[in-house]
């Protein structure tokens, strides 16, 4: 892994000629991702993110923490104990430099040692699941990371709207898999990361999968095609 996202975060934090990231997926064209977006404060976050941060409680695990903006808000403004987790070494270094007391560079599937009152997965938190084939593995891992009375707050988007429709409203969906399974590619300063598998889940599919893995599921908030869900142990 070239850690291009981490390099952009590092460059921005250290004022070392940062450039905007570019991202694309197997169903969408190149799109600009301003690197300062990863450093936004609470007032600049979307409604789903704000709702999740307001509902967080106890000891928190922030999975896919990036530059640490969610974790820093919870630590500094809410006074919560937060552990930031990300696979990007440079992002985790920046989390620490920004003042996060606990930040770990690790894949969530390899992380263990304690359980949490709140587990956060934001900015399309279901993306980390990779594919429907692997979703049970990730949900079982999450089950092991949350306390018996704890909660998982996770968001995603139903991307059905991105596909063409016929005159009768029928949707043209490619055969051979779930429509939310995408390849996701990051570009930065002329370099490209290898494609990663990234999963967008509609709420019904997430609910069914989570219930099959020992969770109760509640939709906390809907915002157009995106939603925030809360998972608790049965």
- Mean pLDDT, the chain, whole residue set: 95
Domain spans of the chain, in order of start: 4-160+173-233
Q: Which of 3-12, 27-36, 73-82, 165-174 has the lowest mean pLDDT?
A: 165-174
Determine the distance from the C-alpha atom of residue 89 to the mean position of all C-alpha atoms in its chain, rounded to a whole number.
17
- Higher pLDDT: 161 or 137? It is 137
Q: 3-state DSSP call for residue 60?
A: strand
Which contacts (CB < 8 Å, 24+ apart) does range 183-186 have?
A: 183/25, 183/26, 184/23, 184/24, 184/25, 184/127, 185/23, 185/24, 185/25, 186/4, 186/5, 186/21, 186/22, 186/23
Query: Cβ distance 184 to 23 under 8 Å?
Result: yes
Consecutive H or E run containing 192: strand 191-192
- Write down the pLDDT at residue 1: 79
pLDDT digits (tens, 9 = 90+) for 35-88: 999 999 999 999 999 999 999 999 999 999 999 999 999 999 999 999 999 999
Overall residue count recorded for the chain in this entry: 234
Read off the pLDDT of residues 190-215 as tens digits, 9 standing for 90 and up. Answer: 999 999 999 999 999 999 999 999 99
CB atoms within 10 A of CB 156: 27
Write out pLDDT tens, residues 91-112: 999 999 999 999 999 999 999 9
Where residue 167 falls among pLDDT bands split at 50, 70, 90?
A: low
Residue 130 DSSP SS3: coil
Q: What is the dihedral of CA 62, 64, 69, 72, to 10 degrees?
A: 30
d(CA 13, CA 70): 16
pTM of the model: 0.94
Percent of the chain with pLDDT over 90: 89
Instruction: Answer whether residue 165 shows pLDDT above 80.
Output: no
**Predicted confidence band of residue 172 (pLDDT cuts 50, 70, 90):** low
Q: Is the pLDDT of residue 171 over 60?
A: no
Does 169 or 184 have the greater pLDDT score? 184
pLDDT above 90 (res 163): no
Give the model's pLDDT for residue 169.
61
**Residue 160 banded pLDDT, cuts 50, 70, 90:** confident
Predicted pLDDT of residue 168: 63
User: What's the gap between Cα 2 and its chain centre?
Assistant: 19
Q: How confident is the model at residue 161 (pLDDT cuts 50, 70, 90)?
A: confident
| CATH assignment, 4-160+173-233 | 3.40.50.150
**What integer is the mean pLDDT of 112-135?**
96
* Token duo for residue 92: 């985790």
Task: Tell me how far apart the alpha carbons of residues 203 and 218 are, in angstroms, rounded to a whole number.
Answer: 10
DSSP 127: G
The dihedral sign for the CA sequence 55, 228, 146, 123: negative
């Amino acid at each position: 892994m070239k850690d291009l996202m981490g390099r952009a975060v590092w460059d921005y934090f250290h004022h070392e000629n940062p450039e905007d990231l570019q991202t694309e997926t197997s169903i969408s064209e190149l799109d600009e991702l301003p690197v300062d977006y990863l450093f936004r404060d609470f007032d600049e976050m979307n409604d789903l993110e704000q709702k999740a941060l307001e509902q967080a409680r106890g000891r928190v695990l922030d999975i896919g923490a990036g530059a640490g903006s969610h974790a820093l808000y919870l630590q500094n403004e809410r006074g919560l104990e937060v552990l930031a987790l990300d696979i990007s070494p440079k992002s985790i270094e920046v989390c620490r430099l920004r003042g996060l007391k606990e930040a770990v560079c690790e894949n969530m599937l390899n992380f263990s040692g304690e359980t949490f009152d709140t587990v956060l997965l934001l900015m399309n938190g279901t993306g980390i699941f990779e594919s429907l084939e692997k979703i049970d593995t990730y949900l079982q891992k999450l089950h092991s990371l949350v306390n018996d009375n704890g909660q998982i707050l996770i968001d995603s988007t139903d991307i059905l709207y991105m596909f063409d429709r016929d005159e009768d409203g029928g949707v043209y969906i490619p055969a051979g898999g779930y429509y939310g399974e995408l390849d996701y590619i990051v570009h930065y300063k002329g370099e490209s990361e290898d494609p990663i598998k990234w999963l967008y889940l509609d709420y019904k599919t997430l609910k069914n999968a989570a219930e099959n893995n020992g969770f109760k599921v509640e939709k906390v908030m809907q915002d157009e095609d995106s939603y925030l869900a809360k998972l608790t142990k049965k």
